[in-house]
Structure 1
Amino acid sequence: MVSKGILGLGGAAFGLILTAGAALAEPARSGGTLTAIVQPEPVILTAALNTAAPTGVVSGTIFDGLVDYDRDLKPIPALATSWETAPDGLSLTFHLRPNVKWHDGQPFTAADVKWTLENVWTKIHPRNQVTFGKVTGVETPDPLTVILRLGQPSPAILSSLNSNGAQILPKHLYEGTDPLSNPYNNKPVGTGPFKFKEWSRGNHIVLERNPDYWDAGKPYLDRVVFRVLPDAAARAAALEKGEAQYAPLSPVPLKDAARLGGLPNLRVETTGYEWLSPWLFADFNVERGPLKDVRVRRALAQAIDRAALARVVWFNFGVPATSPVPSTLTDFHAKDTPAYPFDTKRAEALLDEAGWARGANGTRFSLEIDYIPYGDDFKRTAEFLKASLRRVGVEANIRSQDTPSYTRRIYGDRDFDIAITWFAAFSDPQVGVTRAYWSASVGKNIPWTNGSGYRNPEVDGLIAAVQGEADPAKRRALFRRFQEIVLTDLPTLPLLELKFFTVEAVGLRHGARGDQVYGSFRDFRFDGPAPGQSRASAN
């Protein structure tokens, strides 16, 4: 069962006026070009192999998943029209939609699902190696039926089957190749509402309408153009001038959100992120220098005022986090776990106890801080941490780099002390949280996994146990113990539960789904003539 309780991300607390105008209303108007902003530029265009947010935003409209999710995070049909779990929980059967074609005209079948699960999800994908860890076999009795055989029940699987969580690749284009270097990663062939047309690196990505899409009459748009605009001021200007009509994942500086939301041609939406439950955290490299000592990690945690971080840096588009399992996941979040309230005196005492006394210049030691290069908000987070640590005698140097360099440094070379990043927890912490603590991924250069280098056999055992536990009460107990241990050992410091927003044109309409940001653009359309379309041609 998909967990409920995901935060609706209401914007009233932030002084923004959000509208219900994004919901679909008939009659539909078709045609036109939607210009969206993606920042930073994706590394590749296939979310099956790279789970970074920019990749998901683009590829989610090229590919379909077996399911989509509604606002209550219940799965709804997509490439699978129906599914059922065996009474003993040891098999999961999907009935696929007939007459679906890949963009090159080849039929989509159960063989594509089987090949992707066996060769990508369980071997390469940073989340799905755990999510599908209890799958012992895949059967395809006919081209439209997929049966997953499970060694133990695995309820989290149904929480991660959309086009981002479990993207299906075309077997006929990937079989016999190295999936990580396959050229179709950057000229993807999917089953989704839009086909890949062009990628001008550093400039734009162009997608064109799929005329043979299985959802008859959709998509409404003729094309989608994703512009790459590294400069935040340029992104805001493009939205203000109507040169772009859609920009997800907090695309402008947070201080500008209220101003843009007050313009007559724009609105700021915080809905559509329910599936994500994003959390911001700092990875401590537990294999290096002073951070090997848990007392030092605890001291740094108490040196950081997370309430001030939320207020000053994130303009209250976030609340202080007390656990890696966000409070929005009410079925799993534990409240009575080890806590690290802001207390510089306690932080100083712990550092003294650990043997790191202040030197003649007042400094105890120095660290390197690397932040995910997704915008000024993450850079300012690094600057906030630097100032916080300086107060207790720890100097920090902030390093900037592009996304490939960042992921290689953190997840491959492990050449860092503190890394700032965010993960999506999703609707089940098995999908989005445990990957940050599972020891099997350490140092394998698999982005968005265990960056801290944390290894704890009991935690690994809990992660394995929760994969195969079907009883809701027992799963809650396992996750409670998981949180107790990782918050005691503190290889990562949860900082904030984030609230992302989208800036979009008032005349843009789209469907209401809980995974809108990573979902397809098949329901998007304009109230009146769309950009690039005359009023006479609108229908």
Structure 2
Amino acid sequence: MSVDFVVATPHDAVEFNDVYRNVTGSAGYLACNNIYNRVVLNEWYDINPYPDLATHWEQLDGARRWRFHLNQAARWQDGTPLTAHDVVYTHLHAKQMGYQGAMFLNDVETIVAVNDHTVDYHLHTPNSGFLVLLGNFIFAHILPRHLYEGTDWATNPHNLKPVGSGPFRLAEWIPGEHVIMEAVKNHWGPQPQIDRLILKIVPDRDECVRMVARGEAHIVPQDTLTRDRLHLVQGVPGVEVMTREGPGMALLDFNHGRQLWQDRRVREAIACAINRDEITELGDPGVSQAWDHYLLGSSWALNPEAKAPGHDTQRARALLDEAGVRADSSGRRGRLTMFYMDMFHGHKPLAQMVARQLGEVGFDVSFDGLASVDWSREVRKNHDFDLIIVGGSMAPDPEITATKYSSGGRNNMGLHRNPDVDAAYLAARQATTRHERREHYQGLQAVWARDIEWVPLFWYGMYYPRSQKFFGWADQLGYSIPWWHWGRIRPVD
């Protein structure tokens, strides 16, 4: 009998090439994790890399060169052998064109195929945290060179009809309804134990959760089940609700390209206006909480002394006056625009709270949730905002954050330009032991706190309602696979 595994997701696909552009959280984002492979795998909760296309690897030249030995059995789904030349082409072309897949390749000088199954990444500078960049995010996937080379990635038909190397192939996509993937028979890697992986597009998040409760779906993606929806699924026979502290935080970032935010006093004033006693109302003890540190409490690199300023409305007003951002006769200091990504449902109540709190010190804040495509255009590309509430993935290695907060970071939405931050990242990359890296990352947090580069708000939690009819979730496999990879899922008798 055919075995189907069903995911209820509120967001439809856009395409199936996340190396070209990343549509975070969409059905395409989920599908890519199962259609393609990466060189190595890292999961949020484990800093150790695991094999994927590479069976093993070597750190050479003091972490300036990384050599990966690829699985010689790897094949594309059209039967073509997957080789080192596919790896070289995918990542060098993404870097050359500035595509999403280049986000964590800033340190890469070149990539060389030593032979058909061995590839070297040559870096400009040593980077002892390079593996987590190569394996933690899905836009590090490898594409088939024979189907992409010489084409315009923006219009390549395989964006909609992908040919991957992963355990599932795309069978059908009906926009607004579903994405269906079928198991690849005689797959070169672990053989899938389910026949079809079905992503059902259900815009109503409540209904997504109810589908799991009714047995019509087996899991929902991140940020679909939130604390206010737990009653829809708790206590339902055959459904386990897995909860734990999340791998990142929600934070408030400034558009440092605008003159207003280039004055540290103004940034401190905003930080002082934040009232985490109110934000605490959104928390769930043991799962999520208001947060004022610059890394998570679970991080091996946490600096417990580096904290954002506490709530002090009077000081916030005084700092704004001192900086020349004075109130008019009606007590108002001007208008601000603030955005969040609408697919991260928990950011909306944070935006409402922050807007109200900044209103208490004289700002009129308009806020709105943007779809991922609009976010890419308005925030990442055009930088057309004053403030953003954004998720900051801080695990399993702070090196991940460099793309957002270093001067040359490809995801530097806030236009950060802090030489002390850049120096701390560089020193941590060049350090060879975890102890030395921790010292530099603790220094980085001290700089963030000193300069109020951004404002931590909330350490979010994760809620996963999942069917007990299946086994093989990431936590059950020691985080050796990503959360959104279901190639190891198997039915339980």
For normalisation by structure 2, the TM-score amounts to: 0.89
Alignment partner, residue 424 of structure 1: 393
CA positional deviation for 1:410? 0.9
Alignment partner, residue 351 of structure 2: 382
Q: Does the Cα contact within 8 Å between 1:248 and 1:501 map onto a contact in 2?
A: no
Q: 2:491 aligns with which of 508, 519, 526?
A: 526
Residues in 1 aligned to 2:262 and 2:117: alpha-carbon distance in whole angstroms: 52
Alignment partner, residue 94 of structure 1: 68
Q: Does the Cα contact within 8 Å between 2:336 and 2:387 map onto a contact in 1?
A: yes
- After superposing the two structures, state which structure 1 stretch, 472-481 or 231-240, moved more: 472-481
Deviations along 1:365-415, one digit per CA (max 9) or x if unpaired, are 221121111143221111111121122222211223322112211112222
Q: Which runs of 5+ in 2 are unaligned?
A: none
Alignment partner, residue 63 of structure 1: 36
Alignment partner, residue 290 of structure 2: 320
Q: Does the Cα contact within 8 Å between 2:273 and 2:313 map onto a contact in 1?
A: yes
Size of the aligned set, in residue pairs, is 485
1:316-465 matches, within 5 Å, as: 316=285, 317-330=287-300, 332-337=301-306, 339-431=308-400, 433-441=401-409, 449-465=411-427
Residue 370 of structure 2 aligns to a residue whose secondary structure is: coil
Q: Does the Cα contact within 8 Å between 2:18 and 2:101 map onto a contact in 1?
A: no
Deviations along 1:10-59, one digit per CA (max 9) or x if unpaired, are xxxxxxxxxxxxxxxxxxxx841111023433443233233424354321
Alignment partner, residue 299 of structure 1: 269
Alignment partner, residue 7 of structure 1: none
1:2-401 matches, within 5 Å, as: 31-51=2-22, 52-54=24-26, 55-69=28-42, 72-86=46-60, 88-120=62-94, 124=98, 128-129=102-103, 131-162=104-135, 164=138, 166-216=140-190, 218-257=191-230, 259-270=232-243, 277-288=247-258, 290-309=260-279, 311-316=280-285, 317-330=287-300, 332-337=301-306, 339-401=308-370
Residue 199 of structure 2 aligns to a residue whose secondary structure is: strand
Q: Does the Cα contact within 8 Å between 2:213 and 2:232 map onto a contact in 1?
A: no
CA positional deviation for 1:68? 3.1
Residue 408 of structure 2 aligns to a residue whose secondary structure is: helix
When residues 342 and 181 of structure 1 are mapped into structure 2, their CA distance, relative to the original with a 3 A threshold, is: farther
- Give 1:405's aligned amino acid: D
When residues 87 and 253 of structure 1 are mapped into structure 2, their CA distance, relative to the original with a 3 A threshold, is: closer
When residues 299 and 480 of structure 1 are mapped into structure 2, their CA distance, relative to the original with a 3 A threshold, is: same
Residues in 2 aligned to 1:159 and 1:369: alpha-carbon distance in whole angstroms: 31
- Give 1:38's aligned amino acid: T
Q: Which 4+ stretches in 1 moved above 6 angstroms?
A: none
Alignment partner, residue 459 of structure 2: 497
Residues in 1 aligned to 2:61 and 2:305: alpha-carbon distance in whole angstroms: 35
Residues in 2 aligned to 1:161 and 1:314: alpha-carbon distance in whole angstroms: 32
When residues 73 and 462 of structure 1 are mapped into structure 2, their CA distance, relative to the original with a 3 A threshold, is: closer
- Give 1:240's aligned amino acid: A
Q: Does the Cα contact within 8 Å between 2:282 and 2:289 map onto a contact in 1?
A: no
- After superposing the two structures, state which structure 1 stretch, 513-522 or 182-191, moved more: 513-522
Deviations along 1:112-156, one digit per CA (max 9) or x if unpaired, are 111122122575355854x44443443323211122334443221
When residues 88 and 358 of structure 1 are mapped into structure 2, their CA distance, relative to the original with a 3 A threshold, is: closer
Deviations along 1:289-311, one digit per CA (max 9) or x if unpaired, are 643432222111111123531x3
- After superposing the two structures, state which structure 1 stretch, 227-236 or 459-468, moved more: 459-468
CA positional deviation for 1:207? 0.9
Q: Does the Cα contact within 8 Å between 2:41 and 2:481 map onto a contact in 1?
A: no
Residue 252 of structure 2 aligns to a residue whose secondary structure is: strand
% identical equivalent positions = 26
Q: Does the Cα contact within 8 Å between 1:174 and 1:182 map onto a contact in 2?
A: yes
Q: 2:443 aligns with which of 481, 492, 503?
A: 481
Residue 112 of structure 1 aligns to a residue whose secondary structure is: helix
Residues in 1 aligned to 2:424 and 2:265: alpha-carbon distance in whole angstroms: 24
When residues 401 and 134 of structure 1 are mapped into structure 2, their CA distance, relative to the original with a 3 A threshold, is: closer
Alignment partner, residue 15 of structure 1: none
